[in-house]
Amino acid sequence: MPRPAKHHPERGDARTRLLEAARDVIRAKGFAATSVDDLCKAAGVSKGAFFHHFETKEALGVAAAAYWAETTSAFFANAPYHRLDDPLDRLFGYVEFRKTIIDGDPAEFTCLVGTMTQEVYGSHPAIRDACAASIFGHAATLEPDIAAAMAARGIEADWTPASLARHTQAVLQGAFILAKATGGREDALDSVDHLKRYLTLLFSQPRSKGNTHDGR
Amino acid sequence: MPRPAKHHPERGDARTRLLEAARDVIRAKGFAATSVDDLCKAAGVSKGAFFHHFETKEALGVAAAAYWAETTSAFFANAPYHRLDDPLDRLFGYVEFRKTIIDGDPAEFTCLVGTMTQEVYGSHPAIRDACAASIFGHAATLEPDIAAAMAARGIEADWTPASLARHTQAVLQGAFILAKATGGREDALDSVDHLKRYLTLLFSQPRSKGNTHDGR
DNA sequence: ACGGATATACCAACCGACCGGTATGTTTCA
DNA sequence: TGAAACATACCGGTCGGTTGGTATATCCGT
């Protein structure tokens, strides 16, 4: 039985399909509850193919986290808010963009690496590290705008751009948990609104000199 | 449903030991990765005892969430910050108290029901509901102090005490994820500090409606 | 240009261990 | 003595992972 093969491209077809299946199924069921057979069925691939591309299930977890980091960073890099001139506007644009993503089922808008981190941080350090790299790498992309916004407004703070960037991720991850708990999006959106309000207050609260500017 | 009387209360009965084992093991390994045998071994009881007290593993998950709600609510109810006179002081006392708890290994200070929610929200609705009841029940205990603090300072806000209370839980849950990702507590503590700063800014806002933040 | 060696990409069948759960007791105590 | 509180042995199914194989693509000496 000759099967259609197309294997010169660097990344095989089955591998990508497995990674996409992992992204979807693990977000819905969690890493531990997702069996290799689940993944193979979702990807339309045999078990032999799975272990051809990934040494172990753990290795797939690591690759899935890396794939997530790749695809999401491209996704955010192409988002429209980057075209805004003011750094602070871009920061608010990011948060607003995150809000627009929160739609549909939690399995569709929540964070793969956040979910996996919480589940496997103790038992699969390799996956945990790959997830951490994704989370903190994404947070780091916010730092330049935060730093520029602070500089533009002469803000002297007892917090760093890095800590605020990571805090935004904490709020988002926590919002996802609330959304999963209720099954709805409202509490998550409310929490992101609180984050927006925090940013508004932070950047309209001159610590050093009285600078009067528009609140937004 | 009601607890049977203890016949021979030496060292606590098997049911409680299983619940405590569930609290510890599930926080470290997650619900799905924790087997019934794991729980029995950790609790020092036989498998027969497990299924004598819990119909299924899912039923144990529900009971573990309820046990968590019970024990944590007693824990917070006895915390010293409740003795403060001012409602806002009690709110900050709560947050500060949460900070002091963040110590040791993540498995020791993170939230059982937050972890379980994220993992089983899709596959075990009964557990998810029990976890949600614990999370939102705990958040609700903060509402009276928030409302009183708002009233005392004449704050008219576009947010409700309930939404702020839930936001505090979102930040804490998100902070736990950061802690699990890094293995350390610093990012978690930083995030809670941002929450404290947010509360400070919120409650030092001008009390009249003439403030300029549009928050959108 | 061509055949063979080699490597890649995949598949179906299979394996031992372990999973959640059960059947059948034995002990403990009101 | 009866029921609740445990314990032991076991079951069918599923788990992550292995085995042995096939079809195709690429390289290379001739």
CA distance A146 to A131: 23
Percent of chain A at pLDDT above 70? Answer: 89
Report pLDDT for A12: 60
Closest nucleotide to B46 by C1' from CA: D7
* Cα separation, A190 vs A98, whole angstroms: 12
pLDDT of A213 over the 50 cut = no
Q: For B25-45, what is the mean pLDDT?
A: 97
CA B74 to chain centre: 12
Mean pLDDT to the nearest integer, A94-110: 97
- CB of B36 under 7 A from strand D? no
pLDDT of B144 reads 98
Q: What residues 140-199 of chain B have any CB closer than 8 A to a CB of chain A?
A: 159, 163-164, 166-167, 169-178, 180-183, 187-188, 190-191, 193-194, 197-198
CB-contacted nucleotides of strand D (7 Å): 4-10, 14-26
Q: Quick one: pLDDT at residue B180?
A: 98
Which domains, from first to last, does chain A contain? 58-203 (1.10.357.10)
For residue range A38-64, what is the model confidence (pLDDT) as tens digits?
999 999 999 999 999 999 999 999 999
pLDDT band of B163, cuts 50, 70, 90:
very high
Q: Return the pLDDT at A20.
A: 97
A215 — pLDDT class (breaks 50, 70, 90): very low
* Chain B residue at shortest CA distance from A95: B216
Residue range A74-89: mean pLDDT, rounded:
97
Q: Which residue has the higher pLDDT, B3 or A179?
A: A179
- Facing residue for A159 by CB, picked from B123, B194, B216: B194
Give residues 24 to 63 of B whose Cβ lies within 8 Å of A: 28-33
Q: How close is the nearest chain B Cα to the Cα of A72, in Å?
A: 18
Question: Any idea which nucleotide's C1' is nearest the CA of A5?
Answer: D24
pLDDT at B12: 58
Given a cut of 50, whether residue A37 has pLDDT beyond it is yes
Mean of the per-residue pLDDT values for chain A? 91
Q: Which amino acid is at A151?
A: A
Residues of A in contact with B191 (CB under 8 A): 163, 166-167, 170-171
DSSP letter at B194?
H
Mean pLDDT to the nearest integer, A158-171: 98
Q: What is the DSSP string of chain A?
A: --------SSS-HHHHHHHHHHHHHHHHH-STT--HHHHHHHHT--HHHHHHH-SSHHHHHHHHHHHHHHHHHHHHHTSGGGG-SSHHHHHHHHHHHHHHH--S-HHHHS-HHHHHHHHHTTT-HHHHHHHHHHHHHHHHTTHHHHHHHHHHTT---SS-HHHHHHHHHHHHHHHHHHHHHHSSSHHHHHHHHHHHHHHHHHHTS-SSS-------
> With a 7 Å cutoff on the CB, does B46 touch strand D?
yes
Distance in Å from D26's C1' to A38's CA comes to 34
Mutate to test the interface with B, among A123, A169, A178, A216 (most CBs of B within 10 A): A178
